[in-house]
Amino acid sequence: MSELKKYPPSAAWMANAHVKGPAAYQALVAEAEADHEAYWGRLARELLSWKKPFTKVLNDSEAPFFKWFEDGLLNVSYNCLDRNIEAGLGDKTAIIFEADDGSVNKVSYSQLLAKVAQLANALKKRGVKKGDRVVIYMPMSVEGVAAMQACARIGATHSVVFGGFSAQSLRDRVQDAGAVMVITADEQQRGGKSLPLKAIVDEALEGGNCPTLKDVIVYKRTGGNIAWVAGRDLWLHELTASESNVCEPEWVEAEHPLFLLYTSGSTGKPKGVQHSTGGYLLHAALTTKWTFDLKPDDVFWCTADIGWVTGHTYISYGPLALGGTEVVFEGIPTFPDAGRFWQMIQKHKVSIFYTAPTAIRSLIKAAESNEVVHPKNYDLTSLRLLGSVGEPINPAAWEWYYQHIGGGNCPIVDTFWQTETGGHMITPLPGVTTLVPGSCTLPFPGITAAIVDETGNDVPNGQGGILVVKKPWPSMIRTIYGDPERFKKSYYPSELKGYYLAGDGAIRDAETGYFTITGRIDDVLNVSGHRMGTMEIESALVSCTDLVAEAAVVGRPDDTTGEAICAFVVLKRPRPSGDEAKAIAKQLRDWVAKEIGPIAKPKDIRFGDNLPKTRSGKIMRRLLRSVAKGEAVTQDTSTLENPAILEQLGQAY
């Protein structure tokens, strides 16, 4: 790490940031170390408005089912909207919405509250009660954010499903959550095209296999043709038109579940990560304040979709809880051309920009092959801070981001966190941290991240190990919905001394103690910052029972997407080659897209007469990973039944 260039914070940053310089950071770390509960209790009182103050910070009597601020009452939507309006920000722009076609709609805090209250009243009238689950399957829109806030306002637990997921994935989530309602749109508009949403909801709910579901609320986005199920489907605009724009918030216990968000694990079935109200909102607000240094005049833009946790914490909740102004973008970075992000930063005078390494890498490629979309053509001087999230950022992409987007004077916060952690865990703070490209640097104050071996013992700096968090923190996952045993097994395995297991490997620099994430240690892939389980893709493939006898999925490195999905397939018919193999590969990709969603399509498909297995019948995944990478196979292959298959598997379609 010492050979990499270092970027210390400027004097101006150290003087003006919310957290001012290394000494301030050290003081916060020391405060948390001295009394973890007192530290988090102080911040929860300072950052959040409580209807009824809590008297106890942490209840660990049923660890690892930790409870934070248990006897306090609050409401997330009140904290994000009403209290900002009470503080005089009613006319301040909350959301600058830019549609796919470039049209812009600005929504003030008062307008957003009115929308949220009307929808909240309508939901109540439809019988949605505190604790009911509502699935949100919507495009990036003011209405999408408002739907989440409306659920929060009445104490309903939302579960947002990314608009790129298939009918099958949506059905699984509606069923697992036992949702009473789906809020969707007729269609979504992306890259100049209208794509279906309502039609996918119809397919998901076909045949009455979601018995808990009563209503489907439809936001009219494009006005495209859709089917209508009388008695089940309702237009959002009709439902809300006559509703009052006043709605008393439902004051809920701090532990009340704000949302479920399904994410991939190492087994086939995605898990419903359950988050709380108080602890979650605290960390959303606090990290937005300290990591992004959000100030009243900032224009904040997080490019994530609200279907992922990044969109939850840094679009729907964190920036609003602080009374910030943020951009919400419907479209894609390459439409009408790959200069879209830079053009939008210029147009809206964005000051804080948060995106994923995959996006940066693909825009570097675009800029290098087409002068017109190069960021140098745009005025990006409004920027003061950049962020990265979702996967490791390679030093070359970091440097390009720093020089070409940040103009060589914007710190980059490389934020490591997960769906389960609710907010940033290991990250630079812009007024504090000397940046090193490729490292997420040091834990956020109060987060006790550490690297241990398989038995939970600390490993020395400079030596890789398993990333854990030693003490609970307010925004941590509370459980896996409906499966507390799986929660314990996945995150608190008994051999790790009660530490939270992140599922990533990491190493700390011998000299600086900085963390570098080395990648997942389980069967989870990270493709373009999207999390995918290898088993999930395998089950999708083998569910194509007409064609597939057996399948194994591994990841391999990819220059743009970080990792790429590589599937090894044994067919129920003779191994194909040439055009036939290409055609079947396409058929299988389409199948996976239909089962899970287009993001899960394997990049490489390789056919074999069988798969390499050990004598006991276990698939030799390490060997498959070497084959996928195109590496020479160095493993012992003497146990292979049929060594010739290695050559067969060498060909990707």
What's CA 31's distance to the chain center, in Å? 30
Q: Is 391 in the site for ligand WT7 (CB under 6 A)?
A: yes
Strand locations in 276-324, DSSP E?
299-302
Q: CB of 359: closest distance to ligand WT7 in angstroms?
A: 13
| 574-579: Cβ within 8 A, 24+ apart | 575/607, 575/608, 575/609, 575/648, 576/607, 577/607, 577/651
111, 159, 263, 303: residue in contact with ligand WT7 (rule CB under 6 A): 263
Q: Choose one: 85-93, 127-135, 213-221, 385-393; the region binding ligand WT7 (CB under 6 A).
A: 385-393
- Provide the mask over 155-174, with x wherever binding to ligand WT7 is found by CB under 6 A and - wherever it is not: --------------------
For residues 267 and 418, which CB has a smaller minimum distance to ligand WT7 in the complex?
Answer: 418
Q: Which residues 345-374 are close enough to bind ligand WT7 by CB under 6 A?
A: none
Do 95 and 84 meet the contact criterion of CB atoms below 8 Å apart?
no
For residues 521 and 547, which CB has a smaller minimum distance to ligand WT7 in the complex?
Answer: 521
422, 503, 555, 602: residue in contact with ligand WT7 (rule CB under 6 A): 503
For residues 188 and 419, which CB has a smaller minimum distance to ligand WT7 in the complex?
Answer: 419
Rg (CA), the chain: 24
Q: How would you classify residue 223: left for phi > 0, otherwise alpha for psi between -120 and 50, otherwise beta? A: left
Q: Is 395 in the site for ligand WT7 (CB under 6 A)?
A: no
Q: Is 310 in the site for ligand WT7 (CB under 6 A)?
A: yes
Q: Is 389 in the site for ligand WT7 (CB under 6 A)?
A: yes
* DSSP conformation class of 476: S
Q: Is 309 in the site for ligand WT7 (CB under 6 A)?
A: yes
For residues 73 and 284, which CB has a smaller minimum distance to ligand WT7 in the complex?
Answer: 284
417, 444, 473, 591: residue in contact with ligand WT7 (rule CB under 6 A): 417
Q: Is 25 in the site for ligand WT7 (CB under 6 A)?
A: no
Containing H/E element for 379? Answer: none
List the alpha helices (DSSP H) in 17-138.
21-34, 36-47, 76-77, 83-84, 109-125
Containing H/E element for 365? Answer: helix 357-369
Residues 484 and 63: their CA atoms lie apart, in Å, by 12
Q: CB of 202: closest distance to ligand WT7 in angstroms?
A: 28
Q: Is 398 in the site for ligand WT7 (CB under 6 A)?
A: no
Residues 479 and 344: their CA atoms lie apart, in Å, by 39
Dig out the tokens for 597 from the structure.
């969603």
Q: Choose one: 18-26, 181-189, 502-510, 588-596; the region binding ligand WT7 (CB under 6 A).
A: 502-510
Q: Is 239 in the site for ligand WT7 (CB under 6 A)?
A: no
Report cis status (omega within 30 of 0) of the bond before 443: no
Q: Is 476 in the site for ligand WT7 (CB under 6 A)?
A: no
Q: Is 419 in the site for ligand WT7 (CB under 6 A)?
A: yes
Q: Is 440 in the site for ligand WT7 (CB under 6 A)?
A: yes
Q: CB of 264: closest distance to ligand WT7 in angstroms?
A: 8
189, 475, 526, 561: residue in contact with ligand WT7 (rule CB under 6 A): 526
For residues 477 and 633, which CB has a smaller minimum distance to ligand WT7 in the complex?
Answer: 477
Say whether 337 sits in a helix, a strand or coil.
coil
205, 517, 535, 588: residue in contact with ligand WT7 (rule CB under 6 A): 517
Residues 539 and 172: their CA atoms lie apart, in Å, by 14
For residues 136 and 649, which CB has a smaller minimum distance to ligand WT7 in the complex?
Answer: 136
**What does the chain come to in residues?**
653
* Residues near 359 by beta carbon (within 8 Å), at least 6 away in sequence: 303, 333, 341
Q: CB of 466: closest distance to ligand WT7 in angstroms?
A: 12
Residues 356 and 348: their CA atoms lie apart, in Å, by 20
Q: CB of 259: closest distance to ligand WT7 in angstroms?
A: 14
For residues 355 and 362, which CB has a smaller minimum distance to ligand WT7 in the complex?
Answer: 355
Q: CB of 449: closest distance to ligand WT7 in angstroms?
A: 12
For residues 107 and 389, which CB has a smaller minimum distance to ligand WT7 in the complex?
Answer: 389
Residues 475 and 423: their CA atoms lie apart, in Å, by 7
- Give the number of other CB atoms < 10 A from CB of residue 611: 21
Do 470 and 448 meet the contact criterion of CB atoms below 8 Å apart?
yes
Residues 388 and 398: their CA atoms lie apart, in Å, by 9
Query: Residue 249: which of 223, 269, 211, 277 has the closest Cα?
Result: 277
* Residues near 627 by beta carbon (within 8 Å), at least 6 away in sequence: 568, 606, 633, 646, 649, 650
Residues 473 and 40: their CA atoms lie apart, in Å, by 8
Residues 455 and 498: their CA atoms lie apart, in Å, by 11
Q: CB of 562: closest distance to ligand WT7 in angstroms?
A: 9
Q: Choose one: 20-28, 116-124, 321-329, 497-505; the region binding ligand WT7 (CB under 6 A).
A: 497-505
Size of the site for ligand WT7 (CB under 6 A): 21
For residues 596 and 640, which CB has a smaller minimum distance to ligand WT7 in the complex?
Answer: 596
Q: Is 266 in the site for ligand WT7 (CB under 6 A)?
A: no
392, 428, 431, 612: residue in contact with ligand WT7 (rule CB under 6 A): 392
List residues near ligand WT7 by CB under 6 A.
Answer: 263, 309-310, 389-392, 414-419, 440, 502-504, 517, 520, 526, 531
